[in-house]
Structure 1
Amino acid sequence: MADTVQFYMEEMVPEMRDLEQKGIFSKKEIASILKKREKFEYALKRRISKKADFLRYIEYEMNLEELRKKRRARMVTKTKMSISDYAGPRRIYFIYKRCLNKFKGDISIWLQYINYAKKTGASRTLGKIFAQAIQLHPMNEKMWILAAAWEWEENANIVAARVLMQRSLRLNTTTESLWHEYFRLELVYIAKILARREVLGIEVSTEEFEKNLLEDKEADTDNMIRLPGVTGEELFGKESDNKEEGEDKKSATDKKLKSKNGKRVKTHTPLSEEKAEGLKSEANPVLRGEIAMVIYRNGIREIPRSFTFRKGFLDIANSFIKPKPLKDDSIQYIYDSIEQDFKDMPEACALVARRAIDTYKVDEEGYAKGVGETVKVFWQNCEDGDAKIWELFVENMEAEYQKTQEENLKLYFSKTIDRIFSSATKKKIRSEGLYLLHINWILNTSSLPVENITKKALPIINKAIIEYPQSRALVLQQIRLLRTLSRAEQITRLPEIFVGALKTHPESFAIWREYIIFLRIAYREEDMSNEQVEEAFFDAIRITTSLLPGVTEERAEVGQIKQSVGAWFLDWMNEIEGITGVRRVYQSLMKKSLPELAFFMASINLEKKNSTDEAESRKAIAILYDKAIHADEKNEDTYLSFLKYLNETSQIEAANKVLWRASKAVADNDAFSQRYSDMLEGRWTEPSFGITELDLDLDMSMETLDPTDHESDT
Structure 2
Amino acid sequence: MSDELDDLERRGLFTRAELAEVVRRRRDFEFRLRRRSPLRADFLDYIAYELRLDALRDLRKRAIIRATPDSDHDDDDADDADEKKRRRRKKRKGGKKWKKSVSDVAGVLRVLDIYRMATVRYKGDLDLWFRYLEYCRDKRHGRMKQVLAQAIRYHPKVPGLWIYAAAWEFDQNLNVAAARALMQTGLRSCPESEDMWIEYLRMELTYLNKLKARKVALGEDVKTLQKKNDDSSTWKEENKELFMSLNEQDEGPEESGPQGVALEGKEDLFWQQGLLIIQTIYHGATGALPLSLTLRKKFLEILNSVDLAHSDELKVEVMDDLKKDFSHSEDYWDWFARLQLSDTTSSSNLNRKDALSNKLNKSIQVYDEAVRRLPTSRMYSLYAKFWMGVLFADSEDSIALFHGGELDASEFTLCILKVYQNAESCGCLTEDLACQYVSLYLRLGGLEEAPGRLEEAKNLAKKLCDGPLSHAADLWNLRTSIEIKSLVTATGSSAFSKENLSSLFDLFNVALSKLSLPEAEGLWHAAMKLFSHEKIYFEKLVKCAILALSSAGGNDCGASVSSAIVGWVLQRDGIKQTRKMYKRFLALPRPSLKFFQYCIELETNLASIGNGDSLVNARKLYDSALDIYPQKRELWRNYYNMELKVGTSETVNAIYWRARKVLNDSTALDIPRS
- TM-score normalised per structure 2: 0.59
Determine whether 1:544 maps to 2:556. yes
Which of 394, 400, 403 is 1:403 aligned to? 400
Query: What is the number of equivalent residue pairs in this alignment?
Result: 519
Q: 1:427 to 1:542 in 2, by over 3 A?
A: closer
2:264 to 258, 267, 277: 277
The answer to whether the 8 Å contact 1:16/1:30 transfers is: yes
Give the 3 Å change call, closer, same or farther, for CA 429–100 of structure 1 in structure 2. Answer: closer
Aligned-partner residue type, residue 294 of structure 1? T
2:380 aligned with 1:390: yes
Structure 1 pair 420–515 and aligned structure 2 pair: CA distance change class (3 A):
closer
Find the counterpart in structure 2 of residue 341 from structure 1.
Answer: 325
Q: Aligned ranges for residues 39-58 of structure 1 at < 5 Å?
A: 39-58=28-47
Q: Match for 1:377 among 344, 366, 372?
A: 366
Name the stretch that deviates more: 268-277 or 163-172. 268-277
Q: In structure 2, do the counterparts of structure 1 residues 33 and 406 end up closer, same or farther at CA, with 3 Å as the change threshold?
A: same
- 1:56-455 aligned within 5 A: 56-75=45-64, 76-77=66-67, 80=98, 81-118=100-137, 120-122=138-140, 124-190=142-208, 205=223, 228-229=247-248, 270=255, 272-278=259-265, 284-287=271-274, 289-318=275-304, 320=305, 323=307, 327-360=311-344, 368=356, 369-387=358-376, 388-399=378-389, 402-404=399-401, 405-409=403-407, 411=409, 416-425=415-424, 429-438=428-437, 446-447=446-447
Distance 1:586 1:16 in 2: 75
Q: Deviations over 1:241-297 (max 9, x none)?
A: xxxxxxxxxxxxxxxxxxxxxxxxxx999573224425757861255x332221121
**Deviation of the 1:337 alpha carbon:** 1.0
Change (3 A) 1:430 1:101: same
Q: Which residue identity does 1:544 align to in structure 2?
A: D
Q: Is the 8 A contact 1:470 1:504 kept in 2?
A: no
Deviations 1:321-366 (A, max 9, x none): x636882321221121121123333333444445543444999668
> How far is 1:372 from its partner?
2.6
1:517-566 CA distances to partner (integer Å, 9 max, x unpaired)? 9799989x9899xx99xxx9xx999743999xxxxxxxxxxxxxxxxx99
Amino acid at match of 2:176: I
The Cα of 1:300 is off from its aligned counterpart by: 1.7
In structure 2, how many angstroms separate the alpha carbons of the residues matched to 1:350 and 1:374?
9
Work out the CA distance in 2 between the residues paired with 1:181 and 1:221.
25
Inter-partner Cα distance in structure 2 for 1:517 and 1:62: 61
What is the rounded CA distance, in whole Å, between the counterparts of 2:214 and 2:483 in structure 1?
Answer: 60
1:515 and 1:192 mapped to 2: Cα distance? 66
Shift in alpha-carbon separation, 1:67–1:546, aligned structure 2, 3 A: farther
Deviations 1:421-455 (A, max 9, x none): 34444555423453355456557674367998776
Counterpart residue identity of residue 431, structure 1: T
Distance in 1 of aligned mates of 2:203 and 2:3: 47
CA distance 1:294–1:497, shift in 2 (3 Å): farther
- Residues in 2 aligned to 1:569 and 1:361: alpha-carbon distance in whole angstroms: 67
Following the alignment from structure 1 to structure 2, what is the Cα–Cα distance between the partners of residues 147 and 100? 17
Q: Is the 8 A contact 1:117 1:123 kept in 2?
A: yes
User: Which amino acid in the other structure matches residue 95 of structure 1?
Assistant: I
Deviation at 1:196, TM superposition (A): 7.6
Matches within 5 A, 1:583-622: none
Q: Is the 8 A contact 1:200 1:224 kept in 2?
A: no
The CA distance in 2 between the partners of 1:149 and 1:207, in whole Å, is 26
Question: CA offsets, 1:124-148, max 9 Å, x none?
Answer: 3333222211111111111112222
Deviation at 1:170, TM superposition (A): 1.5
**1:200 Cα deviation (Å)?**
8.7
CA distance in 1: counterparts of 2:235 and 2:24, whole angstroms: 69
Aligned residue for 1:135, secondary structure, equals helix
Change (3 A) 1:150 1:20: same
Question: What secondary structure sits across from 1:344 in the alignment?
Answer: coil
How far apart in 1 are the matches of 2:127 and 2:225?
57
Cα distance in 2 between the residues matched to 1:284 and 1:186? 13
Q: 1:61 to 1:389 in 2, by over 3 A?
A: same
Per mean C-alpha deviation after superposition, the further-off stretch among 492-501 and 349-358 is 492-501
Residue identity matched to 1:407 = G
Instruction: Write the distance in 1 (CA, Å) between the matches of 2:510 and 2:16.
Output: 75
Q: Which stretch of structure 1 is more off in the superposition, 165-174 or 426-435?
A: 426-435
What is the RMSD computed on CA atoms of the aligned residues? 5.9
Contact 1:229–1:268 (Cα < 8 Å) also in 2: no
C-alpha distance in 2 between matches for 1:293 and 1:475: 55
How far apart, in 2, do the equivalents of 1:94 and 1:433 lie? 60
Are the aligned partners of 2:517 and 2:557 in contact in 1 as well (CA < 8 Å)?
Answer: no
Q: Is the 8 A contact 2:224 2:309 kept in 1?
A: no
Indicate conservation of the 8 Å contact 2:330/2:379, yes or no: yes
Return the alpha-carbon distance in structure 2 between the equivalents of residues 16 and 586 of structure 1. 75
What is the CA-CA distance between 1:178 and the residue it aligns to? 2.1
Q: Where do residues 513-552 of structure 1 align in structure 2 (5 Å cutoff)? A: 543-544=555-556
Asked whether the equivalents of residues 199 and 223 of structure 1 are also in contact (C-alpha less than 8 Å), the reply is no
- 1:66-112 Cα offsets, whole Å, 9 max, x none, are 44445555554367244443333322221111011111122222122
User: Per-residue deviation at 1:169?
Assistant: 1.4
8 A Cα contact 1:436 1:474, kept in partner = yes
How many Å apart are 1:516 and its aligned residue? Answer: 11
Between the two proteins, what is the percent identity of the paired residues?
Answer: 23
* Secondary structure, aligned partner of 2:284: helix
Structure 1's 77 and 207: CA in aligned 2 closer, same or farther, altered over 3 A? closer
Gaps of 5+ in 2: 69-96, 228-232, 392-398, 489-493, 540-544, 560-593, 639-644, 647-674
- What secondary structure, in the 3-state scheme, does the structure 1 residue paired with 2:296 have? helix
One-letter identity of the residue aligned with 1:341: D
Tell me which amino acid in the other structure corresponds to 1:113. Answer: Y
Separation in structure 2 between the aligned mates of residue 480 and residue 18 of structure 1, nearest angstrom: 82
After superposition, the Cα gap between the structure-2 partners of 1:477 and 1:587, relative to the gap in structure 1 and judged at 3 Å, is: farther
Deviation of the 1:316 alpha carbon: 4.2
Going from structure 1 to structure 2, the CA distance change for 1:439 and 1:16 (only over 3 Å counts) comes to: farther
- Which amino acid in 2 is paired with 1:339? K
Partner residue of 2:77? none
More displaced stretch, 462-471 vs 415-424:
462-471
After superposition, the Cα gap between the structure-2 partners of 1:431 and 1:522, relative to the gap in structure 1 and judged at 3 Å, is closer
- SS of 1:285's equivalent? helix
- Quote the Cα distance in structure 2 between the aligned partners of 1:95 and 1:151: 25
